[in-house]
């Protein structure tokens, strides 16, 4: 039996309506920016496998580091024990995170990193003797699929069946120059009417919301209001972290820094799952007490797994290397040139870019999960390019190691699509 057939027997895929889409494509090998399927066909991974494999698939430097670590220490309980890879990773993260971040808490996926951030914020107020129960989030944000993270997310296909079970969340629109005053008014009204504990947001780029981008100044004003009201701010950098916006973290573009930052995805470069929630000294200090009750009672069995830590350290080393930094600049410039070429195309409605993230909206009628979306996806795959359109939005978020030829092939396949769509 083929892999496709065997897959169908027992596997339940995420985000998949199996009745309409029974087949999943088996990938048997990956290298650099390339994926290979079970028939030997190759695809350029234009989205770095959901923004994880930024230094290239099966990066040999990371493999070497993992190999070393696997022979030394595989796993150890992280309550009451510690190890060098976690310590070293905390040091390396603090070096590249915004200056106000001091403490590193480990978990194992992006949703959970946000869940931890939300729980930290709620317990911060609880520990200070304040009853605060409301979270503020953007209308169309995405923070993950666990209950707290899902409650804060605003995309309805994900949330529909669960809305009755959500934690308390009040939503505001993502700010732009036209709605900014209205957003600030709504924010103030929520702060006056509810006991607001935290504000969670994706800084500058909302990935699942079709790569929606917004300006740092508007976000900064919201963060200032939050700070003035002792509302804990949580930057969800799960997607934007580790160089994608052109700086290590998107929060660097915003003057006011968040109290808490969640990260995952590129943290472990596509090798193994891991996540981190960082916070300020002030947050951490609110959990210090003579009673155990004020401690943060949250753990995952694989918290700070040493092998995952060794991957993350190697990833950060690569991110800081001259070669990767140069590649990031080359990709940014190359996206800009592509943009000049296509932004006035009659089938292109709008385009946007932040760092290596480039997105365009097609000027055609279609549903986010409609038939057309799959036709566009097929066009790319048949041409050996792996891009996953978000409705009418086509975006590129390539691994930093992508070659000029590979990038050109992605661009050309998009240009061809514009001719046939």
Ligand X SMILES: *Cc1c(COP(=O)(O)O)cnc(C)c1O
Residues of this chain that interact with ligand X (CB under 6 A) are: 109-111, 114, 142-144, 202, 207, 236, 238-239, 264-265
| Residue 416 CB neighbour total at 10 angstroms | 14
Q: Is the CB of residue 407 less than 8 Å from the CB of residue 365?
A: no
Considering beta carbons, is residue 140 or 417 the nearer one to ligand X?
140
CB of 143 to ligand X, least distance (A): 5
Residue 357: strand, helix, or coil? strand
Nearest C-alpha neighbor of 263 from the set 108, 119, 401: 108
Considering beta carbons, is residue 146 or 321 the nearer one to ligand X?
146
Determine if residue 298 is labeled as part of a ligand binding site. Answer: no
Considering beta carbons, is residue 257 or 379 the nearer one to ligand X?
257
CB of 340 to ligand X, least distance (A): 28
Determine if residue 265 is labeled as part of a ligand binding site. Answer: yes
| Residue 299 CB neighbour total at 10 angstroms | 13
Token match 């891991």: residue? 274
Determine if residue 240 is labeled as part of a ligand binding site. Answer: no
Q: Distance from CA of residue 333 to its chain's centroid?
A: 23
Residue nearest to ligand X (CB): 110
Token match 């949250």: residue? 298
Determine if residue 236 is labeled as part of a ligand binding site. Answer: yes
CB of 276 to ligand X, least distance (A): 12
Considering beta carbons, is residue 110 or 175 the nearer one to ligand X?
110
Q: What is the DSSP letter of 43?
A: E
Considering beta carbons, is residue 244 or 379 the nearer one to ligand X?
244
Q: How far is CA 157 from CA 4, 61, 163, 168, 209, in A?
A: 27, 39, 11, 19, 12
Determine if residue 361 is labeled as part of a ligand binding site. Answer: no
Determine if residue 280 is labeled as part of a ligand binding site. Answer: no
Nearest C-alpha neighbor of 155 from the set 219, 212, 88: 212
Considering beta carbons, is residue 109 or 280 the nearer one to ligand X?
109
Please tell me the distance from the alpha carbon of residue 310 to that of residue 332, in angstroms, as a whole number. 29
User: What torsion, rounded to 10 degrees, do the Cα atoms 140, 144, 149, 152 define?
Assistant: 0
Residue 352: strand, helix, or coil? strand
CB of 284 to ligand X, least distance (A): 23
Please tell me the distance from the alpha carbon of residue 392 to that of residue 415, in angstroms, as a whole number. 15
Considering beta carbons, is residue 264 or 393 the nearer one to ligand X?
264
Q: Which positions make up the binding site for pyridoxal 5'-phosphate? A: 110-111, 236, 300-301
Q: Which positions make up the binding site? A: 50, 110-111, 236, 265, 300-301, 388
Q: Which positions make up the binding site for substrate? A: 50, 265, 388
């Amino acid at each position: 039996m083929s892999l496709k057939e065997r897959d169908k027997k027992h596997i339940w895929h995420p985000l998949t309506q199996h009745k309409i889409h029974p087949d999943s494509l088996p990938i048997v090998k990956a290298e650099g920016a390339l994926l290979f399927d079970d028939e030997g066909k190759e695809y350029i991974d234009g989205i770095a496998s959901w923004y994880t494999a930024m230094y290239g698939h099966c990066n040999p430097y990371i493999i070497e580091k993992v190999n070393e670590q696997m022979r030394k220490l595989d796993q150890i309980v992280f309550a009451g024990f510690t190890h060098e890879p976690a310590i070293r990773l905390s040091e390396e993260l603090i070096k590249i995170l915004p200056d106000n971040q001091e403490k590193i808490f480990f978990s194992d996926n992006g949703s959970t990193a946000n869940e931890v951030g939300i729980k930290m914020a709620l317990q911060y107020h609880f520990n200070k003797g304040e009853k605060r129960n409301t979270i503020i989030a953007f209308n169309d944000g995405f923070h993950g699929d666990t209950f707290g993270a899902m409650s804060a997310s605003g995309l309805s296909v994900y949330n529909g069946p669960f809305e009755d079970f959500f934690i308390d969340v009040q939503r505001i629109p993502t700010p732009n120059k036209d709605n900014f005053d209205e957003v600030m008014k709504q924010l103030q009204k929520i702060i006056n009417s509810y006991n607001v504990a935290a504000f969670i947001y994706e800084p500058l780029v909302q990935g699942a919301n079709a790569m929606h981008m917004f300006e740092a100044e508007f976000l900064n004003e919201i963060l200032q209001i939050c700070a003035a009201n002792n509302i804990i701010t949580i930057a969800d950098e799960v997607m934007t972290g580790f160089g994608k916006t052109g700086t290590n973290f998107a929060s660097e573009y915003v003057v006011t820094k968040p109290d808490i930052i969640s990260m995952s995805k590129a943290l472990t470069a596509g090798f193994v799952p891991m996540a981190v929630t960082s916070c300020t000294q002030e947050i951490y200090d609110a959990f210090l007490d003579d009673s155990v009750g004020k401690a943060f009672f949250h753990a995952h069995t694989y918290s700070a797994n040493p092998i995952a830590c060794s991957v993350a350290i190697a990833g950060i080393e690569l991110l800081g290397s001259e070669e990767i930094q140069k590649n990031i600049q080359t990709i940014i410039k190359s996206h800009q040139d592509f943009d000049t070429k296509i932004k006035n195309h009659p089938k292109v409605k709008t385009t946007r870019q932040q760092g290596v993230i480039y997105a365009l909206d097609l000027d055609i009628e279609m549903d986010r999960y409609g038939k057309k979306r799959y036709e566009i996806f097929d066009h790319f795959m048949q041409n050996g390019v792996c891009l996953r359109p978000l409705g009418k939005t086509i975006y590129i978020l390539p691994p930093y190691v992508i070659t000029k030829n590979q990038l050109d092939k992605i661009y050309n396949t998009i240009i061809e699509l514009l001719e046939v769509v």
